[in-house]
A and B are shown apart, each in its own frame.
Chain A
Amino acid sequence: MDPLLLVVIVIVLALFFDFTNGFHDTANAMATPVATGAIKPKTAVALAAALNLVGAFLSTEVAKTVSKGIINEGEGPGSVAITPSIILAGLMGAVIWNLITWLKGLPSSSSHALFGGLIGAAIVGAGFGAVNYGTLVDKVLLPALAAPLIAGFAAFLATKLAYWITKRPSGTASPRRGGFRVGQIFSSSLVALAHGTNDAQKTMGIITLVLISAGHQSAGSGPELWVVAACAVAIALGTYTGGWRIMRTMGKGLTDVKPAQGFAAEVSTASAILASSHLGFALSTTQVASGSVIGSGLGRKGAGVRWRTAGRIATGWLFTLPAAAIVGAVAAALTHLGLVGMIILVVVGLASILGIFIYSQKDAVGHHNAMSDVDNSGAAVHIPTKKERRSVARKARNAAQRAEMEAKRARRAADEAAKHAKELAAAELRETRRKLDEEAAARRRAAKADEAAPDAEATDDLDAADAPTSAAPAVEQKEN
């Protein structure tokens, strides 16, 4: 195969890896501020993209070795030269694994995916002896355990501190913990900037290494300006596209984030990244950020951590290296077949990238629906300004007055109705009593008439039968 074509393919794939790296890691910096409503989703990705772009230009301390000593590079038994085709295979593994984890919404380390791909390719190239397992444990496995622990512990304590320090007795003016939201803008920006300075370097290093190995650039020289610019643009574009699926997992899936807690998590993330990159114990940004979010969830009272999601993420981390290694190994095996294999690799690679993308469109997750209740929750914790509070108070007062008047009127109406009802009842009672009296009187009169008649009964039975009838008109007359 034409070496120049291979170099071009590797560069294109490396830039695409940079792109996936960007959108995979937007969540590290921006998931928590978006979740708390500190920054609007679109603004957040734009800010992160700009800072990644700037960050990529700020630092060009390119890693001299892509694999950081995990693979036995150079000469000697069991060693393998990092050729463009091995890098191509490694990148393929990394890109495909990055896309799969994105589809699943799992934050996973892009560097681990890259290491995995390279390891797989190197094993195919030179056997299992090509991998420096001690370095693998030191540089990948141990940091993967340490990162979430360190960041999580820091975030746990920081969250506790943030809530303790802003706690006030009830009855006094409560601290506006929403004030932390402003802080979140700065803390998340710092994370985004750190990401740009770190991660764009990886791709710059790869491209420079390929250019050197193909003889297009003198050994030991730094990256060309166009490489820096291309990498910066690729990572910024990726960041702006935003891995919204991962944003959803980080911002909502692990725990519900409140401003003070989000601020604590981001500060812990930033501290851990800066400390690790300056004290020589390299930690993955993604793993640090995930650990911080979990730690802050544990630190805030009432915020539960969804351990199922955390478990899924951890499983993803566990699989990142071997899975990318398998893809890398298959890709490396194909490159050994020569031109045909290379064509198959590129076609299959493109097809799977396209396939994953099309599959993802079935239920697309974008800035509009990644955290759909963000706006609602933002409104729920909306902190009104003094003016708003005054107007709300005024409205409440007016409403109270109105309600009181209404109540008074209702009471009056009720009183009147009761009075009216009482009068009616009294009238009815009088009427009934009168009727009863009349009946009683009638009965008494009838009885009197009966008493007056007994002799008639003795003389003639027929007359006795007539007596009441004859008495009745007499009664009527009396009454009238």
Chain B
Amino acid sequence: MVEWIAFVQVAVVTVLAALVIVGLYGLGVRLQAVAEDEDRNRTLHRVGSWACFVVSGIVVLFGIVLIVPHLSELVGL
């Protein structure tokens, strides 16, 4: 039996996860550049870019939790 549902699930989750992480990180990179512009609020953009980096880092941490069974049990996945 071909597991079509699993196939579609994997495809959708892969694409979404990749887009979310790359999008967040890319936004962080962009905000860092925007912060260098003259007429912008430098602090606000810096904080924004770091927030993006931190959130994408949390997503990566979630990945590590998924990889390690003990951690998965710990957070109740």
Q: Are A281 and B10 in contact (CB under 8 A)?
A: yes
Number of A residues near B (Cβ < 8 Å) is: 53
CB-CB nearest in chain A for B24 = A165
Q: Give the contacts of B55-70 with A (CB-CB under 8 A).
A: 56-57, 60, 63-64, 66-70
B9-52 vs A, CB cutoff 8 Å, 1 = contact: the mask equals 11101110111011101111110111011000000000000000
Q: Are B10 and A150 in contact (CB under 8 A)?
A: yes
What chain A residues lie within 8 Å of B6 (beta carbons)?
A: 279-281
What chain A residues lie within 8 Å of B63 (beta carbons)?
A: 190, 194, 270-271, 274
Q: Which of the 9-residue segments A167-175, A305-313, A413-421, A439-447 touches chain B?
A: A167-175
Q: Which of the 9-residue segments A118-126, A154-162, A452-460 touches chain B?
A: A154-162
User: Which of A146, A271, A281 lies in contact with B18, CB distance below 8 A?
Assistant: A271
Q: Are B69 and A175 in contact (CB under 8 A)?
A: no
Q: Are B13 and A176 in contact (CB under 8 A)?
A: no
A251-290 vs B, CB cutoff 8 Å, 1 = contact: the mask equals 0000000001001100110111011101111010000000
User: Which of A194, A260, A267, A279 lies in contact with B67, CB distance below 8 A?
Assistant: A194
User: Which of B10, B21, B27, B70 lies in contact with A165, CB distance below 8 A?
Assistant: B27
CB-CB nearest in chain A for B22 = A158
What chain B residues lie within 8 Å of A263 (beta carbons)?
A: 22, 25
CB-CB nearest in chain A for B3 = A281
CB-CB nearest in chain A for B21 = A267
Count A/B pairs, Cβ under 8 Å: 141
Q: Are B11 and A150 in contact (CB under 8 A)?
A: yes
A149 to chain B, nearest CB (A): 8
B26 to chain A, nearest CB (A): 4
Is B75 interfacial (CB 8 A cutoff)? no
| 12 residue pairs A–B, Cβ–Cβ below 8 Å | A59-B69, A138-B2, A150-B11, A161-B19, A165-B23, A179-B29, A179-B32, A186-B60, A194-B67, A267-B17, A274-B67, A279-B6
User: Which of B10, B21, B32 lies in contact with A272, CB distance below 8 A?
Assistant: B10
Is A177 interfacial (CB 8 A cutoff)? yes
Q: Are A58 and B10 in contact (CB under 8 A)?
A: no
Which A-B residue pairs are the 3 nearest by beta carbons? A175-B33, A165-B26, A271-B17
Given A175-B33, A190-B63, A183-B14 contact (CB < 8 Å):
no
Is B74 interfacial (CB 8 A cutoff)? no
Give the docked Cα–Cα distance between A274 and B64 (Å): 9
Q: Are A173 and B34 in contact (CB under 8 A)?
A: yes
What chain B residues lie within 8 Å of A59 (beta carbons)?
A: 67-69
Q: Give the contacts of A176-220 with B (CB-CB under 8 A).
A: 176-177, 179-180, 183, 186-187, 190, 193-194, 197
Q: Are B17 and A176 in contact (CB under 8 A)?
A: no
Q: Are A142 and B2 in contact (CB under 8 A)?
A: yes
What chain B residues lie within 8 Å of A50 (beta carbons)?
A: none
Q: Are B70 and A175 in contact (CB under 8 A)?
A: no
Which of A61, A138, A183, A194 is the most central at the interface, judged by chain B CB atoms within 10 Å of its CB?
A: A183
